[in-house]
Structure 1
Amino acid sequence: MGKLSRFRKRTLRGQLISYFHLTLLLSILATLITWGIAFVAFLWLINTDKINPANYYEEMIPELAAWIQEKGDVLSEEHKVDLDDMIPLDGLDYQIVNLDGEVVYGSMAEQYISTTERLENQINTNIYDKQGIIYYYPIYNDEQVMNGAVGFRYQVKLQSSNPKMTLLIAIFGGLMFLSPFGYFYLFSYLFGKRFSKNIEKPFNDIIEGAHRIQHNDLDFSLSHIDSTVELNHLVDAFEKMKEALKASLYKQWDLEQERKDMIAAIAHDLKTPLTIILGHVEGLLESRQTNPERMERYLKTIQASAERSIQLMKDLNEVSTIEQVDFRLEFTSVNIKEWLESKATEYMLLCEEKQITFQYNIKNLEKETVLIDLFRINQVLDNVLINSLRFTPKQGKINWQINITKEDIVFEVLDNGPGFADNNTTRIFEKFYQEDPSRSKSDHSGLGLFIAKTIVEKHGGYIIASNRPEGGAYIKIEIKNIE
């Protein structure tokens, strides 16, 4: 099994060469075995007188020539009947010629000798023509003087020696001649079928896989296929293509679902402020008496709802911007201490309005300037600090810790508000996620922390959130200090 597996893992070229050599070798061996069996069978048939050997008539000629000599003067045509009876004319022709080579009688009329001198030279010598071999024996009279000759014509062929089996011998000879080609065809077919079987399954599986992909069915694998090196590479490439397509389609489906969720969330978030605006406008239109206090309250509510709708659209536009493939950060050199003190003053003023204590502390100020996208980092800090400000109660505290090294910039925000709901510290960075039981009671879009997380990751950093053991929320932001 191991050898077969190693053989299958060879290249197509290597397998084809191996199959060709095996086909050739086995064809030669099978042919030699067949010819050997046929040869043994042929000898047995000859030894048991089932068939005559190819020189059967040739061996009869000396005996016939001796019998003719014993007959005496056979130049007379009256001996023709006896010679026709004695000589097997089905495989042997003869002629009686005089000293001048003229044919007196016999079964062949062709004249091969034209003079006495030539006759003497051709005695006991083979003459060849298209019909066979001609051999002449001298004929002597009673005084032992040559007065003529008898010529025999024969063929040293198995068919000629067995005239009644000519067709059978021809068929047998043809089979022996064609046996190498037959064996070569047989082994070529068998090895070709085996080779085809080895490569047929991978191709069929790839075709089936292509059909399944057409129907968006990507839950299959071709990694179990074991074939030639080239087909293994093809299957691996197909598998990688399928996995890439699967990831792409899943991403597309996720984006499509996300788009649907976004549309639903936008519709839901816009519905609340628009309903409030519409209700207050209708209230003002239906009011017959002008009440300055009521009108001011309604107009402020309408203004707040409109601002909330505008902020939602801004957040959506910001999400669309940072999720673009070609989105790039714009790094600038920033005096870190001046910038942080400016931001701290800004947050301190906001906290004073809500009667919240704000503290900040800068540690390990190893660099005076850093390279960051100032606009985007401001967005991150504003989203985190304002979110902390939103949930910290009056008389509460917010602590902002900054740690600056040559490699990293770490921001930590701690408050003593209600903290995060259990098991939700990772989900708060999801798009449109809000911890409030009802969205209608929320005054934010659920996009701020998602935007913050995306910007931080594009700075090569991370953002995490957790609940403090003593109560309140904790958020840590770490970004790379780009040189």
Structure 2
Amino acid sequence: MGKKMTDTPKPLRRQFITQALWILFLSALASLVLWVGLFFLVTHLFQPVNYYEKKIPSIIRLADQEGGALLDPALRSRLEEIVPREGILYRVVPLAGGTGYGTLSEGEVPKRTELIRNLNQSDQRNGYIYVYHPLVDSEEGLMGVLLLRYALSLVASNPTKGPLAIAFAVGFMAVPFVCLAGFSFWFGRRLEKRLTPAVHLLMDGAEKIEKSDLDFTLGQVGGSRELAAIGSAFERMRFALRSSLEKQWRIEQSRRDMVAALAHDLFTPLTLIQGHAEQLSKGQGHDEERKRRYVETIHTNADRAIRLLEEMQEATRLELPTFVLHGVPVEAGAFLKQKRDEYTTLCVMREIQLQTEFRDERKDRQQLFHLDERRLSQVLDNLMANAMRYTPAGGVIKWRCLIREGSLEMEIADSGPGLSEKDLRFLFDKFYRGDPARSLDQGHAGLGMFIVKTLVEKHGGWITAGNMPQGGACFRFRIRELDGERV
């Protein structure tokens, strides 16, 4: 049971959601790992972002030591010894007037009032940090301002490695997207490998059907529950198409067999009719007795040809979808007695004894029984004619009938040669004429038993054929009571 549940394909929706969650989880985990690795490289290849900010205290200490004396340009070289030229720009601004000196342009120096207001503070403008430090004389008098400018960024902290720093910054930002793209591609390939065999299997099956090759089995289609359902529907369609084509082929084969059988069976009577008609047409040298025999032969064979055609038409009619049995209320006892009288007369003419046994096990024996009287008579006529054909003079035909609630069961047995193994296999097939060793004549199209079986089954019943222990053929069949019209 567990294995079956494991082998059941998951729905596509569940697979997509599961893969999406795995992609997000693994992308986040991989991004974290890569970020840690990149951070480790950054710390070894680049100066930290606050590298120049750490230089500010030493510059401030020098400014405090020199005080107002730092306004003298002669001390510029000393100041620039500790001010990193690549990362920090400075300007020494005297409050008494003058431009002062430094690497920071005069245009970035604010007005005197703003300088005084920002003393011992820092502000941020245009991505840079400005530090304002007072320069005082020995009497603590404010003489000027030391203005420092630097930036807190990887590129600013590594001016000689700018392109590389930019590449690392872009890499940091691109890591999550790269991981998402990579894992999406990986999981997409896995899903493709899971679904592709099923899709190829369905495409191969469609190509075979297009070529009218239905002699194959699609097999189990995996990949997803939806594809498995499509595969099952595809297999049912293939089986239905194959059954339909086989049925069509059987119908076509039956039609060809019918035409061939009709041509074969009509050949003999029509040849006899033609030959005797030619003799009559000559009109000379024939006495009345010979003419009578010619006319009788023509009449007999014409009747035989008509009977063959009628059997063909009847077999075709029974197979039409429009064929309907008409159930009418019939008094079963009276119907059986009438048929018994008919068959008794025929049996007497053939010197055959007919034994009958009718039993009615219904509670109300006067209740009418719904059946198609004409079609049931057709079934009995065929079975009785078959029994009389093979029962020799002095033989016995036994007819038993059991009437029950909603059904009729009958048995017709004769004392003839019985049925051969071949008969038992093919007796109810179209155009089967019986084993030659048993057949006494071939004056029929081999459709009688086929018609009997079809009519019995149309009544919702069944029919079997066998041999009696003491010899002779035995037919048993059962039909159900009809309710109105039954197709």
The normalised TM-score by structure 1 is 0.91
**In the aligned structure 2, how far is the partner of 1:193 from the partner of 1:66?**
63
Which amino acid in structure 1 is aligned with residue 55 of structure 2?
M
What value does the CA root-mean-square deviation take over the aligned residues? 2.6
Closer, same or farther in 2 for the Cα pair 1:247/1:4, shift >3 Å?
closer
Equivalent of 1:308 in 285, 304, 308: 304
Contact 1:426/1:464 (<8 A) preserved: no
Residue 163 of structure 1 corresponds to: 159
- Give 3-state SS (helix, strand or coil) of 1:338's partner: helix
- Aligned-pair distance for 1:7? 8.8
- 2:211 paired residue number: 215
Letter in 2 for 1:35: W
Q: Is the 8 A contact 1:134 1:153 kept in 2?
A: yes
Whether the 8 Å contact between 2:416 and 2:473 is mirrored in structure 1 is yes
Superposition map of 1:69-468 within 5 A: 73-80=69-76, 83-84=79-80, 87-100=83-96, 103-108=99-104, 109-115=106-112, 118-130=114-126, 132-141=128-137, 145-286=141-282, 288-364=284-360, 366=362, 367-368=365-366, 369-435=368-434, 437=436, 442-468=442-468
Q: Please tell me the residue identity of whatever aligns with 2:443.
A: D
Aligned counterpart, 1:42: 42
> What SS is found at the alignment partner of 1:424?
helix
325-334 or 76-85: which moved more?
76-85
Superposed CA deviations along residues 412-458 of structure 1, whole A, max 9, x for unmatched, are: 22222222223422411111101253999511111111111111111
* Alpha-carbon distance in structure 2 between the residues aligned to 1:257 and 1:370: 39
Distance in 2 between the 1:348 and 1:131 partners?
124
273-282 vs 85-94, greater mean Cα deviation: 85-94
Q: Which amino acid aligns with 2:49?
A: A
Structure 1 SS opposite 2:427: helix
| Alignment match of 1:61 (pick from 48, 56, 60) | 56
Counterpart-to-counterpart distance in 1, 2:7 and 2:394: 81
- Seen in structure 2, the aligned counterparts of structure 1 residues 127 and 465 have a Cα distance that, compared at 3 Å, is closer
Counterpart of 2:402 in 1: which secondary structure? strand
TM-score (ref. length: structure 2)? 0.90
Q: Which residue identity lines up with residue 456 of structure 2 in the other structure?
A: V
Structure 1 contact 8–227 (Cα < 8 Å) conserved: no
Shift of 1:469: 2.7
Whole-Å Cα distance in 1 between the matches of residues 476 and 140 of structure 2? Answer: 140
Contact in 1 for aligned 2:58/2:82 (Cα 8 Å): no
Instruction: Letter of the 2:145 partner, please give it.
Output: A
The letter for the 2-side match of 1:371 is H
What is the Cα deviation at residue 15 of structure 1?
Answer: 1.5
Which residue identity lines up with residue 477 of structure 1 in the other structure? F
Taking a change above 3 Å as real, the CA distance of residues 412 and 8 of structure 1, as seen in their structure-2 partners, is closer
SS at match of 1:429: coil
Distance of aligned partners of 1:236 and 1:475 in 2 relative to their CA distance in 1, 3 Å threshold: same
Deviations 1:218-256 (A, max 9, x none): 233334222322222222222222222222221111111
TM superposition shift of 1:54: 1.6
Higher mean C-alpha deviation, range 138-147 or range 30-39: 138-147
For the Cα contact (< 8 Å) 2:220–2:231, is it kept in 1?
Answer: no
Q: Distance in 2 between matches of 1:426 and 1:98?
A: 128
**Helix, strand or coil: the match of 2:317?**
helix
**Alpha-carbon distance change, 84 to 376 in structure 1, aligned in 2, over 3 angstroms:** same
CA distance in 1, matches of 2:7, 2:455: 55
Q: Which moved more, 1:361-370 or 1:335-344?
A: 361-370
The residue matched to 1:128 in structure 2 has which SS?
strand
Please report how far the alpha carbon of residue 352 of structure 1 lies from its aligned counterpart in structure 2 after TM superposition: 2.1
Identity in percent: 35
Paired residue type of 1:204: H
Amino acid at match of 1:28: A
**Which amino acid in structure 2 is aligned with residue 179 of structure 1?**
V
Q: Secondary structure at the match of 1:110?
A: helix
Give the secondary structure class of the aligned counterpart of 1:176: helix
Distance 2:224 2:451 in 1: 51
Is 1:51–2:46 an aligned residue pair? Answer: yes
Residue in 1 aligned with 2:471? 471
Deviation, 1:341, is: 1.8
Q: Partners in 2 of 1:382 and 1:4 — Cα distance?
A: 57
Deviations 1:241-273 (A, max 9, x none): 222222222111111111111111111111121
Distance 1:388 1:58, change over 3 A: same
Give the distance between the partners of 1:143 and 1:7, measured in 2 at CA.
Answer: 92
Amino acid at match of 2:373: L
Give the letter aligned to residue 374 of structure 2. Answer: F
CA displacement 1:247-304 (0-9 Å, x = unmatched) = 2221111111111111111111111211111222233335631322111111111111
Q: Please give the alpha-carbon distance, in whole angstroms, between the structure 1 residues aligned to 2:4 and 2:474.
A: 63
CA deviations over 1:43-97 (Å, ceiling 9, x no partner):
4x1xxxx532222222223323444565673434454455556533221111111
What code does the residue aligned with 1:15 have?
Answer: Q
Contact 1:100 1:114 in 2 (8 A): no
* Compared CA separation, residues 422 and 60, structure 1 to 2 (3 A): closer
C-alpha displacement of 1:102: 5.0
Structure 1 residue 324: Cα displacement: 1.3
| Residues in 1 aligned to 2:313 and 2:184: alpha-carbon distance in whole angstroms | 70
Write the letter of the residue equivalent to 2:472. G
2: CA distance, partners of 1:210 / 1:466: 47
SS at match of 1:387: helix
Taking the aligned partners of 2:330 and 2:8, their CA distance within structure 1 comes to: 64
Residues 225 and 335 of structure 1, relative CA distance in 2, 3 Å threshold: same
In structure 2, what is the Cα distance between the partners aligned to 1:349 and 1:102? Answer: 153
SS across alignment from 1:148? strand
SS at match of 2:475: strand
Consecutive unaligned residues in structure 1, runs of 5 or more: none
How big is the shift at 1:4? 12
8 Å Cα contact 2:370/2:481 also seen in 1: yes
